[in-house]
């Protein structure tokens, strides 16, 4: 019975615990990054944001693979995701509290070059 509970929990949580995030600093000054991703690859980043300032995180890729974007607040709660099919994803969030947010980007369907950007409202 315990194994079934663990399996069910693991399938509900898209973030792998063994992926250590790379801190990219302040979200307001982040200019974006290009990521060479393998099929079934995953990268994790953190960025800091101020409370009340909406931001939009996006991905775009050079090939037509499936790129998904998940966003978590400092407590680990999922606050946004775009798991729709295709190489582009977009998540808009207005943080209730300032702090670090975690971004998990997953790619399936072949190797790809993925661009990750964040735009903070003025």
Instruction: Specify if 4 maps to a domain.
Output: no
pLDDT of residue 19: 63
Query: Which pTM was predicted?
Result: 0.84
Distance from C-alpha of 51 to C-alpha of 25, rounded to nearest angstrom? 16
Instruction: Specify if 83 maps to a domain.
Output: yes
Distance from C-alpha of 63 to C-alpha of 122, rounded to nearest angstrom? 32
Print the domain residue range for 56. 17-120
Specify which residues 60 forms β-bridges with: 115
Instruction: Specify if 56 maps to a domain.
Output: yes
Quote the number of domains for the chain. 1
pLDDT, averaged in runs of 10, over the chain (122 residues): 38 51 95 96 97 96 95 95 96 95 96 97 87
CATH number of the domain where residue 105 is located: 2.60.120.380
Instruction: Specify if 6 maps to a domain.
Output: no
Residues sharing a CB contact under 8 Å with residue 111, sequence separation 6 or more, in sequence order: 36, 37, 38, 39, 63, 65
């Amino acid at each position: 019975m315990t194994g079934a509970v663990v399996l069910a929990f693991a399938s509900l949580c898209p973030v792998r615990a063994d992926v250590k995030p790379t801190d990219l600093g302040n979200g307001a000054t982040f200019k974006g990054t290009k990521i060479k991703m393998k099929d079934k690859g995953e990268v994790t980043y953190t960025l800091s944001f101020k409370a009340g300032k909406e931001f939009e995180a996006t991905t775009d890729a050079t090939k037509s693979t499936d790129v998904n974007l998940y966003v978590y607040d400092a407590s680990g709660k999922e606050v946004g995701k775009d798991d729709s099919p295709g190489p582009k994803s977009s998540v808009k969030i207005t943080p209730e509290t300032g702090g670090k947010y975690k971004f998990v980007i997953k790619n399936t369907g072949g190797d790809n070059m993925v661009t990750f950007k964040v735009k903070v409202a003025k």
